[in-house]
């Protein structure tokens, strides 16, 4: 179970995971050691899955975002295993979701340009049978965050 200090700590860590435990402690009114102990417990209990650096996709040359909506006529475990394996091996896919409704899966894909997306698409359809695929290029990102709402804050 987490308390209000844990919630505040989680919020601060997801805003800037590089902040020092000393600085976090000053903000929370805790010692550096107490903050370290709390972070270790939150990691151990699965509240913190990992700490990463967020990179600038445009500066790295993969600034185009394409959303790929997939419908399939196959819903077997074997097909899902092949699909999961294919998407795991394609680094352009930065998110993949199984959905309810008319669309079965939604992929978020990062590429350099249309030509790179076409090459990605050809590799995808070589790997897995798909019934219907619709791609939409993101014209502008209005909001993008990795921060998860922390209930109670």
Domains and CATH numbers, the chain: 4-44 (1.10.10.10), 64-137 (3.30.70.920)
Residue 124 CB neighbour total at 10 angstroms: 21
Q: What is the pTM of this model?
A: 0.91
Residue 114 pLDDT grade (very low, low, confident, very high; cuts 50, 70, 90): very high
Contacts of 28 (CB under 8 A, 6+ apart): 5, 8, 9, 12, 35
pLDDT at 148: 96
Q: What is the pLDDT of residues 39-71, one digit of tens each?
A: 999 999 999 999 999 999 999 999 999 999 999
pLDDT at 21: 97
């Amino acid at each position: 179970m987490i308390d209000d200090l844990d919630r505040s700590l989680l919020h601060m860590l997801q805003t800037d995971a590089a902040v020092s435990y000393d600085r976090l402690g000053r903000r929370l009114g805790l010692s550096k050691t107490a903050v370290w102990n709390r972070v270790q417990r939150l990691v151990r209990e699965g509240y913190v899955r990992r700490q990463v650096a967020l990179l600038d996709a445009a500066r790295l040359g993969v600034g185009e975002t394409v959303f790929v909506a997939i419908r399939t006529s196959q819903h077997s475990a074997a097909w899902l295993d092949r699909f999961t394996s294919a998407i795991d091996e394609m680094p352009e896919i930065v998110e993949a979701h199984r959905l309810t409704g008319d669309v079965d899966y939604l992929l978020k894909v990062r590429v350099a340009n249309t030509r790179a997306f076409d090459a990605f698409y050809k590799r995808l359809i070589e790997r897995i049978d798909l019934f219907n695929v619709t791609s939409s290029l993101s014209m502008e990102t209005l909001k993008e965050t990795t921060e998860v709402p922390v209930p109670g804050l």
